[in-house]
Amino acid sequence: MPSARRSPFIPHTARLKESIDLTPDVKLFRMELEDEAVRKEFQYKPGQFAFVSAFGVGESPFGLASVAYQNDAVEVAVRRVGTVTAALHELEPGAIVGVRGPFGNYFPLEEYKGKNICIIGGGIGMAPLRPVIRTILDNRSNYGKLTVVIGSRSPADLVFASEYEGWGSQPDTRVELTVDRGDANWKGRVALIPAVVKEIHLSPENSVAIICGPPIMIRFVLVELKALGFAPHQIVTTLEAKMKCGLGKCARCNVGDKYVCQDGPVFSMDQIAGFLEQF
């Protein structure tokens, strides 16, 4: 009976456990779903996303930044850019938010077993890549070399900066940092991400490159990866699109015969090359 059908638009309520400043305009939200049964059912994989509601202001989609198997909290990194994200930033621990999801496909990490993995993230684009890195590091022997290239506008804008050292200290793992503009204390690299990809000579052999970041960054990283010999099927990205439902209904994220919310957000470059439209 339809009256008994739960509306897929109704979010689960969740309590904000913590909101942690990651950068001047990015906070990490650690949320606990209120209903215990829902908490158990809320399983997801790296690359999937969920909508978070600030009731009274609206809801927006965010890449899930946590790994489900730790199961202590659902995490998203929220950059303050619009009305919903500004409202979320105002919330104090204990506040009730809405969580709807998980939605979308995920990075096929099972298929990548035995391969070298290059992760390239720009700015807030690191959020959906963080669970990929965690999953690989927690199952380290299943994967080859792990290279993580992280860039941001400035040193203060590096998200999850406190975790880089831990990642880089793992076997066969290196973390390459870069910023567009340094500051007085920055002794590291000042370069754009595509230049770093070129500089460190990522090898395409038995490798997969996973990219997330602003569209302009992705575009130029692709140029470099192609020059290094990466084939389109070896490059995977996660597309960002305007979304209102996550259910393949509102048609906002429609590109070609795909819905980013359901068929994506993870696409390989050979899939993207088949789109009629550049997205």
Partner 1 sequence: MAKFISKTDLLAWLEGLMKERTLAAPIKEEGVTRFAPVKKVADIVMDPGATDFSPKDWFFPPSETLFTVSKADGKTVITPRTMEKEAILFGLHPCDGLGVALMDLPFLAEPADASYAEKREKTTLVGLACRQSRPECFCTSLGSNPFDATYLDVLLIEAGGGYIVQSKTEKGQKLLASAKLTESNVETPAPPAVNTVPVEGLVAIAPHVFNDAFWTRLADRCIHCNMCAFVCPACYCFDIRDYVGKGGVVERVRSWESCQAAGFTKIAGGYTPRPTKAARLRQRFYHKFLYMPKQLGSIGCTGCGRCVRVCPVNIDIREIITTMQKIGAKVAVGAP
- The residues of the shown chain that bind partner 1, judged by CB under 8 A, are 2-3, 5-11, 13, 53, 55-60, 79, 81-82, 85, 96, 98, 214-215, 240-242, 244-245, 247-252, 254-257, 259, 276-279
Q: Which of 119, 91, 117, 67 is nearest to 237 (CA)?
A: 119
To partner 1, the closest distance from the beta carbon of 90 in angstroms equals 15
272, 219 in Cβ contact below 8 A?
no
Closer to partner 1 by CB, 134 or 151: give it.
Answer: 151
Closer to partner 1 by CB, 184 or 276: give it.
Answer: 276
**DSSP letter (8 states) at residue 262:** T
To partner 1, the closest distance from the beta carbon of 273 in angstroms equals 14
To partner 1, the closest distance from the beta carbon of 270 in angstroms equals 17
Closer to partner 1 by CB, 140 or 252: give it.
Answer: 252
User: Which ranges of the chain would DSSP assign to H, the alpha helix?
Assistant: 36-41, 83-90, 130-138, 164-168, 193-199, 215-228, 269-273
34, 12 in Cβ contact below 8 A?
yes
To partner 1, the closest distance from the beta carbon of 181 in angstroms equals 18
Closer to partner 1 by CB, 99 or 149: give it.
Answer: 99
Q: Which of 200, 174, 198, 195 is nearest to 117 (CA)?
A: 174
